[in-house]
Amino acid sequence: MAADYIDLHTHTLHSDGVLLPSELAVRAESIGYSTLGITDHVDSSNLESVAKRILEFAASYNATESSLKIIPGVEITHVQPREIADIVTEARAYGVKLIVLHGETIVEPVIKGTNMAAIRARVDILAHPGLITDEECELAKSNNVALEITTRRGHSLTNGHVALMAKRHEVALVLNTDAHAPGDLATEEFARSVAMGAGIYDFKGLMDNAKRLIEGL
């Protein structure tokens, strides 16, 4: 078991997940997680309320004796590209520590231009970015935006492309589950297998990237 097994993209019933934050945390800790990012889906309609609830939960949970650390975050999802920068600014003003952006996965109708708008807005993680381009990767490198390798079915179809492009442009990669339900949380063994399937054999490097990211928040 890795000393730092980190997952920075999960959901609770405060958006479209099925678990309470406390249950998600307990389940994650039970399979070896050291750090869990809770990043419920937001747009301009629910950002304030979701941010408040997750920030309060993280503060309370992190004050317990649990070995698991909670990182309070949000995932900005299916918003117009022109709105992304303003929502990022607003989320940071509320005190949100981790900002994930729902990237241009090939299995959902994400608006074209979302990836680039997110990278320009300097989100922390561009989740499941789909068929990300050279131009987007170059800017992600410059803006310190990490790209996601995901264990989530469907979104994971482009993991190999994302890994290849990240290597070509020296962009940091992190591995997340995008968990919505108990069965979505991944054991370290399964996470390693997903990484290897994308051609990534340095699992520790993925975890180190995530650790550096949260240390900078």
Give the model's pLDDT for residue 174: 98
Give residue-wise pLDDT tens across range 47-86: 999 999 999 999 999 999 999 999 999 999 999 999 999 9
Q: Which two tokens stand for residue 215?
A: 């240390």
Q: Per-residue pLDDT for 1 more than 60? A: no
Give residue-wise pLDDT tens across range 141-177: 999 999 999 999 999 999 999 999 999 999 999 999 9
The arithmetic mean of pLDDT across residues 191-195, rounded, is 98
Q: Per-residue pLDDT for 191 more than 80? A: yes
Q: Which two tokens stand for residue 18?
A: 């099925």
State how far the Cα of 14 lies from the Cα of 22, in Å rounded to an integer: 12
**Please, are residues 55 and 26 in contact by the beta-carbon 8 Å criterion?**
no
User: Which residues lie below 8 Å from residue 33, measured CB to CB, with a gap of 6+?
Assistant: 5, 6, 7, 68, 185
**Please, are residues 173 and 9 in contact by the beta-carbon 8 Å criterion?**
no
Helices (H), 31-187: 47-62, 81-94, 114-120, 134-142, 159-169
The end-to-end CA distance of the chain, in Å, is 25
| Domain extents in the chain | 6-215
The architecture of the domain spanning 6-215 is Alpha-Beta Barrel (3.20)
Q: Which two tokens stand for residue 12?
A: 């609770």
**Please, are residues 87 and 46 in contact by the beta-carbon 8 Å criterion?**
no
